[in-house]
Structure 1
């Protein structure tokens, strides 16, 4: 998946979840990424965020602390 598409999808998720009441939106973003993204996409997103690449919604940036790296890398 292209980095642009991956960032767009993660940011759309964050934009939706930031409107939810209560706290824990970053944890919800991380949970959705962990549950719904295939391992290759999670690995790519983790690498992208670690490199400090631009464009990630602040909520996605916070969520990345809780995104699980796939077992194979």
Structure 2
């Protein structure tokens, strides 16, 4: 399983939990969880999937939460290697 597939699976598991909560709380709940527990590298990878792959494979609740998730700064280690 690729890193992207693992990350999509993890994000969708979070969304699955919040589907059992009141609908209005879902996006904020998903975003709060990801903001608290995912490191910047993971959030950067999530935004790569959302921005460049149209959110392929992500639960609609994760996509609804995306604007509430803290977008990390670009990875400086990649640009330093170039």
TM-score, length of structure 2 as denominator length: 0.80
Structure 1 unaligned spans of 5+ = none
Shift of the alpha carbon at 1:21? 2.9
Higher helix share: 2
Query: CA contact under 8 A between 2:8 and 2:57: conserved in structure 1?
Result: yes
Q: How does 1:7-26 map to 2 (within 5 A)?
A: 7-21=8-22, 23-26=24-27
Who is 1:69 aligned against? 71
Q: Report whether the alignment pairs 1:41 with 2:21.
A: no
Distance 1:53 1:65 in 2: 13
The runs of 4+ residues in structure 1 deviating greater than 6 Å are none
SS in 1 for 2:24: coil
Greater C-alpha radius of gyration: 2
TM-score, length of structure 1 as denominator length: 0.89
When the two structures are aligned, how many residues end up with a matched partner?
Answer: 72
Which string of whole-angstrom CA distances, capped at 9 and with x for unpartnered residues, describes residues 8-67 of structure 1?
000000011110135221011011111100110001101111121411000000100111
RMSD: 1.5
